């Protein structure tokens, strides 16, 4: 789907690249929300810390929650802030126990922040219900913790594409677990994958049918690989985000989903 855009970027001069993460991310309102004059319920946030430590988060506020958008925004911002203030290095992330603890603490902080906001607004936590995916990535490791639906992926230097998480579907169709749910931490997924990492990606559930083979639970390479190539060669951040937004709003996407869409794509360029 993104092949033409990725191909159009190949002519860029990348000979002077230094080792660094390149990230393109966007959240756009689904066509069903636009028709009903509703806000986009998705949110995302990311930072590249020192020593090429990437932290990223995406969230999908529940459509049934009156303040789902607020919950999603608070969740991603709190989770990233909780991790980014620690002063991580790639060396410190060689400890699996520390990595898992960092992700768990970030989720707990996000959950508390959402509950605190609900109390300050005289609302119930479920009024700010949201999913949450939090990722830590370096050129040597990627780790993810996820509550609810959506998907996190990574590609290694051998071209292997791995679904680090899978959408969390409840007992019924379109049901999922939210950060504010009593069972949120019990159902959370966590994965640590150590290899030479070249690309990582996060999507919210609006893109699941396009990006994931739901039968076998594997990410769809024709969806992700052109996107990975695009971000690896994108030198103008503003232009790249505009093109990603245009892609997410294109007819080829909106014909297959009317939900809000969030996509975070990153490439580590070390040449």
Identify the CA nearest to 215 among candidates 163, 264, 159, 143: 163
Instruction: Look at residue 1 and tell me whether its pLDDT is greater than 80.
Output: no
Burial environment of residue 248 by CB neighbours within 10 A (0 to 12, 13 to 18, 19 or more): buried
**Topology (CATH level 3) of domain 22-269:** Phosphatase 2c; domain 1 (3.60.40)
| Mean pLDDT to the nearest integer, 123-134 | 97
| Mean pLDDT to the nearest integer, 68-85 | 97
So what's the pLDDT on residue 117?
98
The CA-based angle 204-258-59, given to 5 degrees, is 20
The CA distance from 54 to 127, in Å, is 31
Query: 141 or 31: which carries more pLDDT confidence?
Result: 141
| DSSP H or E run through 112 | helix 96-120
Q: Where are the domains of the chain?
A: 22-269
So what's the pLDDT on residue 213?
83
Model confidence over 221-241: pLDDT tens digits?
999 999 999 999 998 999 999
| Mean pLDDT to the nearest integer, 92-121 | 97
So what's the pLDDT on residue 185?
94
Instruction: Look at residue 208 and tell me whether its pLDDT is greater than 70.
Output: yes
CB 247 within 8 A of CB 5: yes
């Amino acid at each position: 789907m993104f092949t033409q855009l990725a191909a159009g970027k190949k002519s860029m001069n990348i000979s002077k690249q230094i080792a660094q993460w390149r990230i393109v991310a966007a959240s756009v309102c689904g066509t069903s929300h636009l028709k009903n004059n509703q806000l986009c319920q998705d949110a995302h946030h990311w930072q590249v810390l020192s020593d090429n430590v990437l932290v990223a988060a995406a969230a999908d506020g529940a459509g049934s929650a009156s303040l789902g958008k607020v919950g999603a925004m608070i969740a991603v911002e709190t989770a990233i802030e909780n991790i980014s203030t620690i002063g991580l290095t790639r060396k410190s992330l060689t400890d699996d126990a520390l990595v898992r603890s960092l992700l768990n603490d970030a989720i707990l902080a996000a959950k508390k922040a959402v509950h605190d906001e609900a109390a300050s607004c005289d609302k119930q936590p479920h009024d700010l219900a949201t999913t949450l995916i939090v990722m830590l990535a370096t050129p040597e490791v990627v780790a993810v913790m996820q509550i609810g639906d959506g998907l996190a992926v990574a590609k290694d230097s051998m071209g292997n594409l791995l679904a680090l998480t899978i959408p969390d579907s409840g007992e019924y169709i379109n049901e999922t677990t939210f950060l504010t749910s009593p069972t949120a931490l019990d159902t959370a997924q966590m994965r640590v994958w150590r290899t030479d990492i070249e690309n990582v990606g996060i999507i919210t559930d609006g893109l699941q049918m396009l990006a994931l083979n739901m039968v076998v639970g594997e990410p769809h390479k024709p969806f992700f690989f052109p996107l990975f190539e695009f971000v690896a060669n994108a030198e103008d951040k503003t232009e790249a985000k505009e093109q990603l937004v245009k892609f997410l709003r294109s007819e080829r996407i909106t014909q297959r989903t009317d939900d809000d869409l969030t996509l975070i794509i990153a490439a580590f360029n070390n040449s």
